[in-house]
Amino acid sequence: MQSSVKHGEEDIAANDLAELLFAATPAATVRNSYRLTTPLQNPSIAHSQVRMSEEAKPLTVGNNLNLEGKVAFLCGASSEKGFGWAIAKELADAGATVIFGTWPMGLKIFERNYKKKSMEDERRLSDGSLMEVAKVYPLDAVYDHQDQVPEDVKNNKRYKDLAGFTIQEVVDQVEKDYGQIDILVHALANGPEVTKPLLETSREGYLEASSASAYSLVSMVSRFGKIMKPGGSVVSISYIASRQVIPGYGGGMSSAKAQLESDTRTLAFEAGRKWGVRVNTICAGCMASRAATAIGGDGGKPFIMKAIDYQEANSPLTGKFVAEHVGKAALFLLSPMAGAVTGVTLPVDMGLHVMGLSLDSPAFA
């Protein structure tokens, strides 16, 4: 969890609308922006044709889950208990080079804990080796460039000695270090007023939730997209509150997750046409990560524990939900196995999203 320092109509009508839109747009603009049709114009088509001609290999699990030579940038993966960490391990296990973007306020803590003996089990991969993070970049995803950073943040002891921590500065550093990346994982969110009902959420709190949890994805795709290879892939993490009422998940966070999912669809179109990059999100189930556990419970059981109890009582699948489920789903979406999948919100929640009634309701007693 990341924060700033400040703690239809009918078909004919749709066709008419499209015709009007394109008629009102300069041809060069439309052509240069999105209407890329030939293999040489559309990087995603060109990429897949080049790969097939060069490799001439059948599509198999073994080939497509081998990510050796791929570079993956993950933000929000600094806690070993979260979804980002689980995704990082799956990518590393598949051979990808993993680099992190970590919130400056927790950077030193992460660097100190990462090498501890107690972290070895959390870093262990399927072959017994330990996951290595090739480089860690300080990243505060609520700032796109230095001009947006307030003086009190610049002078904060956790920030002032850092070479660059805004999104554009990190993109520039990654480009200098690695040239291009193949994978981008957005696993961060923050709502400073998450414990407040929406009716009690301030404008400032609402906008901060949207900035940190939703716009950060837009900003990162728009900037990292320029240094992503054709065929690259982006994955973010959403939550069922984007579409359904989840009492206790407030502060505008449900709105931010709805924005995230909507933006995923639009970014899939725009980034797909512009760079040949796929964009998807995972609507993850409830898990007691450190960040989620910090959400209050009015002096009683934390919100996330109540949500987990509900999930376990009502989901179609009765096994225990763990971060690894999200990690493996993300590995699929980020690999060539999902080469034609984009703009998708994939539920990974033991099937809870399909339920219309709660089995543990007193009505069924």
Q: Mean pLDDT for the chain?
A: 85
User: What is the pLDDT, as a whole number, of residue 79?
Assistant: 84
Number of domains in the chain: 1
Q: Which of the following is catalytic: 159, 206, 215, 249? A: 249
User: What size, in residues, is the chain?
Assistant: 365
User: What is the pLDDT, as a whole number, of residue 60?
Assistant: 57
Q: Is residue 323 part of a domain?
A: yes
User: What is the pLDDT, as a whole number, of residue 28?
Assistant: 43
Q: Is residue 181 part of a domain?
A: yes
Residue 172 clears pLDDT 80, i.e. is over it: yes
pLDDT per residue as tens digits for the range 270-279: 999 999 999 9
Please compute the mean of the pLDDT values over residues 257-267 and round it to a whole number: 98
Q: Is residue 104 part of a domain?
A: yes
Task: CATH number of the domain at 187, please.
Answer: 3.40.50.720
Residue 260 clears pLDDT 90, i.e. is over it: yes
Tell me, letter by letter, the H, E, C secondary structure of 242-302. HCCCCCCCCCCHHHHHHHHHHHHHHHHHHHHHHHCCEEEEEEECCCCCHHHHCCCCCCCCC
Residue 280 clears pLDDT 80, i.e. is over it: yes
Range of the domain at 293: 58-347
206 is catalytic: no
- The percentage of residues in the chain with a pLDDT greater than 90, rounded to a whole number, is 73
* Residues 335 and 90: beta-carbon distance below 8 Å: no
Please compute the mean of the pLDDT values over residues 206-230 and round it to a whole number: 98
pLDDT band at 292 (very low <50, low <70, confident <90, very high): confident
Q: Is residue 337 part of a domain?
A: yes
DSSP state of 109: H
Q: Which of the following is catalytic: 34, 215, 239, 310? A: 239
* Residues 171 and 227: beta-carbon distance below 8 Å: yes
pTM exceeding 0.75:
yes
Q: Residue 189: how many CB atoms within 10 A of its CB?
A: 27
User: What is the pLDDT, as a whole number, of residue 364?
Assistant: 84
Q: Is residue 21 part of a domain?
A: no
Residue 170 clears pLDDT 70, i.e. is over it: yes
215 is catalytic: no
Strand pairing partners for 234? Answer: 184, 279
Tell me, letter by letter, the H, E, C secondary structure of 326-349. HHHHHHHHHCHHHCCCCCCEEEEC
Q: Is residue 7 part of a domain?
A: no
pLDDT per residue as tens digits for the range 19-43: 333 334 444 443 344 444 333 344 4
* Residues 291 and 79: beta-carbon distance below 8 Å: yes
Q: Is residue 131 part of a domain?
A: yes
Q: Is residue 197 part of a domain?
A: yes
